[in-house]
Amino acid sequence: MQIAIYISDLLYRHECVVVPDFGAFISRRVPAQHFASSHTIYPPKKGLSFNAQIKQNDGLLANYISSAANVSYEESVQKIRDYVRFLDQEIEDSGSITIHKVGRFSRNKEKALQFTPMYLVNYLPEAFGLSSHETYAVDRVSVAPKVEIGKEFEDETPVIALETIKTNSSSWVRYAAMGAVIFGSIFVGLKGYENQINDDALAVEQMSREIVNAKIESASFLIREPLPSITIDVAPLEKNFHIVAGAFREPANADKRVAQLQLKGYDAKRIGVNKYGLHNVAFSSFIERNDAINELNKLRSIGFEQAWLFAGSLPK
């Protein structure tokens, strides 16, 4: 039915969607998960749960149906009642029913309502388009070197044998030997000179470090003029969740109701005019939706059964 689509639409934007006289769908953010058994990474999502104890009409679903289907608020409430009767009858007859893109309902042996969410539907807007990703484990194999008792480590690098040219000239051999001795002496001398340069460079570097450290230890820092202070104006958070006490055609009647509630200790005020031209009066307003729901349940328990929750802002 069309009501299932309305419920699904609201779950993308709200953490709690109440179906009057049936229960509430509550969503919470679940971070990205990795399952080592299946080597699969799942993106973050909104996890759905169902609370059958929250049944009072908070106005969210009814107002959305009224706006989307272009019907009156009373007609949308009646549509919800018909849908709830359909759900109860279908569960009674068939044993279960599935709400499209939301989940499946059934009853256990104790006749308690059971809810199984649809895990393939992700109601988290910033995770749109992300899907699960399967990873593959990398096999790591350590290779031990070959060692034999009484022998050195084997070098697997192939050895290339160079052939020498045989000659009968013994003088050429002597000159080559002398040249090798002279070249070796020059190489050793250069190597010693290079080592001396490196030692001198290290000594200079060590001396520079000691001088810098001494300067730092003896230095004193003094700020003669304090830095100017900066004042930042932070805008207060808006209270967009209102517990509505009633709606009035005449502004004077709305102001009268505000005064009555304020005398009883409520932070009552007019919150704007709805599309029907009615001036809405709120018991109080909240920043967090959960705080507003708790206050709504409290008010209904003490006799204000017609109170309902409105989210957003109205034209003044």
Query: Among the three residues 86, 106, 134, which one is the final residue of a domain in this structure?
Result: 134
Q: Are residues 248 and 130 in the same domain?
A: no
Mean pLDDT of the chain: 75
Q: Read off the amino acid at residue 11.
A: L
Q: Answer whether residue 250 is part of any domain.
A: yes
Q: Are residues 6 and 129 in the same domain?
A: yes
Residue 188 is predicted with a pLDDT of 47
- Asked if the model's pLDDT at residue 159 lies above 70, the reply is no
Q: Answer whether residue 279 is part of any domain.
A: yes
Confidence of residue 153 (pLDDT cuts 50, 70, 90): very low
CA angle in degrees (0–180, nearest 5) for 182-184-188: 120
Q: Answer whether residue 208 is part of any domain.
A: no
pLDDT tens profile 240-294: 899 999 989 999 999 999 999 999 899 999 999 988 889 999 999 999 988 989 9
pLDDT tens profile 160-176: 444 444 444 455 545 55
What's the CA gap between 242 and 232, in Å, rounded?
A: 29
Residue 131 is predicted with a pLDDT of 57
Q: Between these two residues, 12 and 284, which has the higher pLDDT value?
A: 284
Q: Answer whether residue 258 is part of any domain.
A: yes
Query: Among the three residues 118, 134, 150, which one is the final residue of a domain in this structure?
Result: 134
Number of domains in the chain: 2
- Any bridge partners for residue 286, and if so which? 241
Q: Are residues 249 and 128 in the same domain?
A: no
119 torsion bin: left (phi>0), alpha (psi -120 to 50), beta (else):
alpha
Percent of the chain with pLDDT over 90: 21
- Asked if the model's pLDDT at residue 216 lies above 60, the reply is no
Instruction: Report which of 285, 286, 239, 281 is spatially closest to residue 260, judged by C-alpha positions.
Output: 281
Helix 60-69 × helix 2-11 angle, to 10°? 120
pLDDT tens profile 24-77: 998 877 766 665 555 567 666 677 889 988 888 888 999 989 888 889 999 999
The CATH number of residue 281's host domain is 3.30.70.1070
Query: Among the three residues 67, 99, 134, which one is the final residue of a domain in this structure?
Result: 134
Instruction: Report which of 50, 61, 85 is spatially closest to residue 7, judged by C-alpha positions.
Output: 61
Supply the range of the domain harboring residue 72.
2-134
Percent of the chain with pLDDT over 70: 58
Q: Answer whether residue 194 is part of any domain.
A: no
Q: Are residues 128 and 250 in the same domain?
A: no
Out of 85-94, 114-123, 298-307, least confident range? 114-123
Q: Answer whether residue 42 is part of any domain.
A: yes
Q: Answer whether residue 285 is part of any domain.
A: yes
Q: Answer whether residue 221 is part of any domain.
A: no
What's the CA gap between 91 and 88, in Å, rounded?
A: 5
The pTM of this model reads 0.42
